[in-house]
Structure 1
Amino acid sequence: MDLALIPEQNLLEAGALPYGDLVRFATREGRRPRPIYQIHKWFARRLGCSFRAVLVGAVSEPTADFWKAYYETGNLQGVTVLDPFVGGGTSVVEAARLGASAIGIDVDPIACAVTNAELTAATLEDLLPTLRALQERVGKKLAPLYAVKGPDGAQLTAVHFFWVQVVACPSCKKVGETHPNYVLAEEAGQRRWAFCRKCHEPHSLKATQKSFSCTSCETKTVLDSAPVQSGTYTCPHCQERTPLIKLGRETEAPPTWRLFAIEATPRTTGRSVPMKERVFLKAAAAHQAAVTRATKALRQEIEADPEFLPHHAIEEKHRSDTRLTDYGYRQWSQLFNDRQLLHLGRLAREIKKLPEDQRRAIGLAFSNHLTTNCMLTSYAAGWRRLTPLFSIRAFRHVPRPVELNPWLEGTGRGTFPNAIRQVLRASAFAKAPKEPARRGGFREVEAVAPTTAPRVFSGNARELTDVESNSVDMVLTDPPYFDNITYSELSDFFQPWLEHMGLVPEAAKRRALVKRALSARRNNEESIEEFAANLGEAFGEVRRVLKPHGLLAFTFRHSTPEGWLAMAKALA
């Protein structure tokens, strides 16, 4: 390799990067992430513009024109860049775009699958013909299960189905609904839509209205006077107060749900429907009958093929976040209702039949689609859209989840067609990448072809056995954070279906790998010392594989002294 590509003094180490402009870039990218990183959900991704700037700065002389290098002449051909904690892949994707020979390693095979998809996105063929075929074989056959009619009998297109958890009061044994409020949606400063607490009839109200009397049953509903506040259910019959999580622990059964409302639009042909055309409907007997038909069809599929759905228990031991099992879930499949499982099972069956390249790309779109097609999603009333699982990095219990019509086009956040289009947008970006321009907008930049194809594989950062000593020019990474939830606990959610489609190793093999992930618990001195020692071992391996004048650059953000102390000990 040409040593001149990594100058002994460079823009990065001289502290001469244009930080003000880069902060503005980062703010923009935070609001509108690069399409390449939208292929599949990953956690706490670092920004592409930041890593590109670090890479360009590392190979530029202190007096170089940074912006010319950033947009035009930045070239890392012949430079080997390693990330031993690759996660969502930002470091190696940005390095490969600049022509580096990139190596990414992670203990989690799911992270590796996501990163590989990002690195190969430019080679993807058009997936729309395959999407159309899947719509014919799966979507159209499921369409009757999502059919709804308006009050005038007109056929409508369902967008969202609103469910609520029902519980039996441990004191009086009467069953109640766990609504946090009685508002369905809001249009800022203009109006809001609410439903009757007794009969569920939807009502359009003034934006400032706090209560109403139902035009159907005359019951008065106070919008914010609902049974659940801060996760605690107050029985409307006897006033007994019980945390929902306590009910889950006592029953050891997953939540029971009741369908109570639907959001629908006029029939569409793929166009996005204006909000003003949407309507809310009370869930009627016909809608519940569709759910019953879905349950029957699901049972028939399972009887015909016991492997129709993946069967994976939620591992209870050693989890830092126990909320799933505390709320009564024991199987990953219990996070979905029967209609969702029928859709997912039939779609996965067809995806498994596809050629490998298509199966991998569409399988990842399917996996990403799981975050919007489960019973841990909520409804953002002010935005009139679904909020996916992992909008916060946790398995948050949602007492009033929303079910998406999964085959909608144009309307509906996270539908399967939209998930496919997300992959296609990533592919288009990989083929013709752009960077933010300093005065707004974007500039096209050239993707430099690496001299060696990127390598991504599962492994342990403390044992970089597949990387030769003195072979790496630069290590660019974002090491695990002290006292944070282990991301492999969150990505467990994706394992059953990805394994079902043959896209990741079986769960037992993955579990053996991720058990070696670095983590620590605050206020536990032994755990902190172990974290620091293990991270120190990883940095020792980094030193071994780096060339004598190689660079180590990493990001680390933490709000506690303990976190920084652990990092200091690891580097010592």
Structure 2
Amino acid sequence: MKITKFRTGDRKTALECGFPVVEISQVAEQESWRKEINRPIYHIHKWWATRLGSVFRAITLGALSKPDVDVWSEFYKVQDFKGKVVLDPFMGSGTTLGEALKLGAKAVGSDINPISTFLVRQAFTHVSENKLREAFEKLENSVAVEIKRYYVTKDPETGHSIPVMYFFWATIVVTPDGEEVPLMSRYVFSQDAYPKKKPRAQIVCPACWSIFEGRYDSAEISCPHCEFIFNAQQGPASGQKVTDSFGREYKIKSLLPADGRPLKQRLYACLALKNDGKKVYLSVTDEDRQLFASASERLSREELPLPTSVVRPGHNTDQARGYNHTTWKSFFNDRQLLCLGLLLKEILLIEDFEVQEQILCLFSSTLEFNNLFCSFKGEGTGAVRHMFSNHILKPERTPLENSIWGTKKGSGTFSSLFESRLLRAKRYLDDPFEVLLTHDTDGNRTGSVKTTASLPIRPKRVDTWEELASVEKSALMVINGNSAKLPIPDSSVDAVVTDPPYFDFVHYSELSDFFFAWLSPALRERYEWLSRQDSSDPGEVQQKDPRAFGRQLSLVFTECTRVLKGDGVLAFSFHHSRPEGWAAIYEAITQAGLVVINAHAVHAELRGASPKSAAKDPISLDAILVCRKRDSLSADDQIAKKDVAFGIMSEAERLQSAGLKISLGDKFVIGAALVLIEKSKDRLSFDEIAKELHVMQENLRSGSPLIIGQIELAL
């Protein structure tokens, strides 16, 4: 999407001129399939809406390069932007920082959220693998023994104790007549990801609670243990209602415990690992239940570093609170609390703080896969569906209890994440790589390989601007605070590259409180930014109202304009399905004294990602909006009036011809970016720009001719 027509002398950076949209989108799509493997440094810990590293490498490369540089031809070359400084005021997981450092520049990252600050500090801290393995082995020889004894069962064939990978639970409601009803929509609790190819499934009997094997599509079936006949496809729970054995229907919320406790749960099955390495599903026994009871009893008498804070009301937390999950402690069962508490207590005894914080980051990352809001994906895929698969904290009706330390074949455990997340991220610091697509002699894509295009990431971490300026080579400054007030001098940053928050979808601090509740008690004495009540801040750019969001964002953009050099660009990625979201962005840009001079539509996220896959017109494109200071443009600088309708059509066709699927939502993203280019010099009101975007969106949806100004084109 190349829109601007500045004279060659007026263009200051390559990003203002053009962008290898197709090539970067193809690489980005490949990266998006396994982001945690292709860019492990940004997935050392959970963060939301993490952008693709390949896209931000290209953005940063273009923002630091001269106008005549071909970004794609330079993409896989080792760069050295010595002395250049890149700022990200919404650093999140640190994507911009990592890509800037890989290009040889200095990086400044700021975020108001303390969890972001913690994880970014850990991501860019170089610690030897030997030290980390030594700490891990000490934990394995001490507390792991205690934890693993609570995740065992007996092999019914040999009578020997074998490790349990997962325990299966069902949430229970009690009717006014005292009947206990499980909130199960069906009684098939495990099946393959491709059931038509592998129809074998696991079924639980609602009468005797024994489990047995059957087909995934079994309907009327007889339990081989008690001969009870039932429909395996019809459980008592449907939507927000549940039906008892007499056919009486109740609203689930009407059956919540009156004392404010969450609904109780029943343990009914486990997936264990036999001595020969084979997995086996087993019904739970009285001995299994007694093991859980012993964990509850021990928890009651142990002094452990457990969360004590409450879940505050919010857009992403109200559903959990509505089901009586009002404390973060209530997100875990007693066995999970005991074992996590024992593990954390032992981690805090590690004397080397640098190593300790790396292991704490691993511990915090483990929490995502070990709580009552996790569920079972099934066979043939990553088994644990983590708690943030929905962007709200949705209580799970059939929770999956993972083995916290883990087994050889488990996932989402402390031991598996040590290898797959922590060590992989540390190795990436030593050997950062890019994804390179491979093709046959006819130009057909054959796959991808990893290729080195950067020097090792070894920045000197500094705390002040003066220190950053004094470092000759690579340096990193991580700030926790409101980016509307940065400790940076005027006109000192070469480029601002960022990804602002969404205004109405994911409220990061509400979700990050889940991790804050565990980390804050452990580190509040060490770091002031972890000593507050929760991870929120009055200055965060995270408002439901688009106008309020625009105002808050404009404060940050205004500050970025202040610290940006006159010939620098501010570039950021954005997509939204609502015109009001774009109107808020427009206001933030214009109020900050910026002008949008170009935009590039690139692949941003895996289309099948949840909850994106549930959307009617899922958006997989980001618009990269390139801005300059209004007062840096000369009076002769003109933005060419290129019609929006034609721009949408031509850009969609270009991306589709490259093999990308473009939805109506994607076309709206392309069109909205074009409108912002056309109108950013005009300083329209919020209502004026929103109205224009609404008309464009409705015409896209209806297939009517698209009219922008005096231009009409059928799409």
TM-score by length of 1: 0.91
The equivalent of 1:524 in structure 2 is: none
Residues 179-227 of structure 1, C-alpha deviation per residue, up to 9 Å, x if partnerless? 1211122232231111211112222123543232111100113111101
- Is the deviation greater in 36-45 or in 502-511? 502-511
- Match of 1:254, SS state, is coil
In the alignment, does 2:64 pair up with 1:59? yes
In the alignment, does 2:453 pair up with 1:445? yes
Change (3 A) 1:308 1:122: closer
- Match of 1:133, SS state, is helix
Q: CA deviation at 1:249?
A: 8.2
Change (3 A) 1:248 1:542: farther
Change (3 A) 1:320 1:42: closer
Q: CA deviation at 1:102?
A: 0.7
* AA matched with 1:57: G
The equivalent of 1:352 in structure 2 is: 348
2:190–2:202 CA contact under 8 A, matched in 1: yes
Rounded to whole Å, the distance in 1 between the matches of 2:109 and 2:555 is: 18
1:182–1:224 CA contact under 8 A, matched in 2: yes
Rounded to whole Å, the distance in 1 between the matches of 2:32 and 2:142 is: 38
Task: Pick from 391, 397, 400 the counterpart of residue 399 of structure 1.
Answer: 397
Q: What are the within-5 Å matches in structure 2 for residues 274-353 of structure 1?
A: 277-301=278-302, 305=303, 308-316=305-313, 319=315, 321-353=317-349
- Match of 1:145, SS state, is coil
Task: Pick from 18, 23, 26 the counterpart of residue 24 of structure 1.
Answer: 26
Rounded to whole Å, the distance in 2 between the matches of 1:438 and 1:147 is: 45
Task: Pick from 346, 364, 381 the counterpart of residue 378 of structure 2.
Answer: 381
- Match of 1:555, SS state, is strand
Task: Pick from 163, 168, 185 the counterpart of residue 162 of structure 1.
Answer: 168
Rounded to whole Å, the distance in 1 between the matches of 2:576 and 2:338 is: 43
Q: What are the within-5 Å matches in structure 2 for residues 505-524 of structure 1?
A: 505=528, 509=532, 511=534, 514-521=537-544
- Match of 1:566, SS state, is helix
Q: CA deviation at 1:65?
A: 4.3
1:371–1:388 CA contact under 8 A, matched in 2: yes
Change (3 A) 1:378 1:513: closer
Residues 261-283 of structure 1, C-alpha deviation per residue, up to 9 Å, x if partnerless? 11111137xxxx5xxx3111111
- The count of residues paired between Structure 1 and Structure 2 equals 546
In the alignment, does 2:341 pair up with 1:368? no
- Is the deviation greater in 477-486 or in 558-567? 477-486
Change (3 A) 1:452 1:513: farther
Rounded to whole Å, the distance in 1 between the matches of 2:389 and 2:124 is: 25
- Is the deviation greater in 173-182 or in 100-109? 173-182
In the alignment, does 2:143 pair up with 1:138? yes
1:167–1:178 CA contact under 8 A, matched in 2: yes
2:139–2:346 CA contact under 8 A, matched in 1: yes
Q: CA deviation at 1:513?
A: 5.4
Which 4+ residue blocks in structure 1 deviate beyond 6 angstroms? none
The equivalent of 1:224 in structure 2 is: 233
Task: Pick from 477, 501, 516 the counterpart of residue 498 of structure 2.
Answer: 477
Residues 79-116 of structure 1, C-alpha deviation per residue, up to 9 Å, x if partnerless? 11111111111111111121211111111011111111
Rounded to whole Å, the distance in 2 between the matches of 1:492 and 1:251 is: 25
Change (3 A) 1:207 1:513: closer
Q: CA deviation at 1:536?
A: 1.4
Task: Pick from 482, 491, 496 the counterpart of residue 460 of structure 1.
Answer: 482
Rounded to whole Å, the distance in 1 between the matches of 2:566 and 2:254 is: 57
Rounded to whole Å, the distance in 2 between the matches of 1:164 and 1:209 is: 20
- Match of 1:454, SS state, is strand
Q: CA deviation at 1:457?
A: 1.6
1:211–1:222 CA contact under 8 A, matched in 2: yes
Q: Alignment RMSD, CA only?
A: 2.2
Rounded to whole Å, the distance in 2 between the matches of 1:360 and 1:55 is: 30
Change (3 A) 1:471 1:555: same
The equivalent of 2:687 in structure 1 is: none
Q: What are the within-5 Å matches in structure 2 for residues 472-551 of structure 1?
A: 472-502=493-523, 505=528, 509=532, 511=534, 514-521=537-544, 527-551=545-569
Rounded to whole Å, the distance in 2 between the matches of 1:482 and 1:493 is: 20
Rounded to whole Å, the distance in 2 between the matches of 1:320 and 1:377 is: 16
- Match of 1:127, SS state, is helix
Q: CA deviation at 1:258?
A: 1.1
TM-score by length of 2: 0.73
Task: Pick from 93, 100, 109 the counterpart of residue 95 of structure 1.
Answer: 100
Structure 2 segments unaligned to the other structure (5+ residues):
1-8, 439-447, 460-472, 591-715
2:296–2:335 CA contact under 8 A, matched in 1: yes
In the alignment, does 2:201 pair up with 1:192? yes
Change (3 A) 1:413 1:246: farther
* AA matched with 1:210: A
Change (3 A) 1:376 1:59: same
Change (3 A) 1:217 1:411: same
The equivalent of 1:266 in structure 2 is: 274
Q: CA deviation at 1:124?
A: 5.9
- Match of 2:235, SS state, is coil
Task: Pick from 221, 233, 236 the counterpart of residue 242 of structure 2.
Answer: 233
Rounded to whole Å, the distance in 2 between the matches of 1:413 and 1:565 is: 42
Structure 1 segments unaligned to the other structure (5+ residues):
1-5, 522-526
Task: Pick from 567, 582, 598 the counterpart of residue 564 of structure 1.
Answer: 582
The equivalent of 2:606 in structure 1 is: none
Q: CA deviation at 1:49?
A: 0.4
Residues 289-340 of structure 1, C-alpha deviation per residue, up to 9 Å, x if partnerless? 0001101111121xxx3x5423112223x55541121110122111111111
2:404–2:413 CA contact under 8 A, matched in 1: yes
* AA matched with 1:241: Y
Q: CA deviation at 1:246?
A: 4.4
Rounded to whole Å, the distance in 2 between the matches of 1:456 and 1:246 is: 48
Rounded to whole Å, the distance in 1 between the matches of 2:500 and 2:417 is: 29
Residues 355-376 of structure 1, C-alpha deviation per residue, up to 9 Å, x if partnerless? 1011110000000000111111
Residues 501-542 of structure 1, C-alpha deviation per residue, up to 9 Å, x if partnerless? 217647662648523212232xxxxx3322222211211111
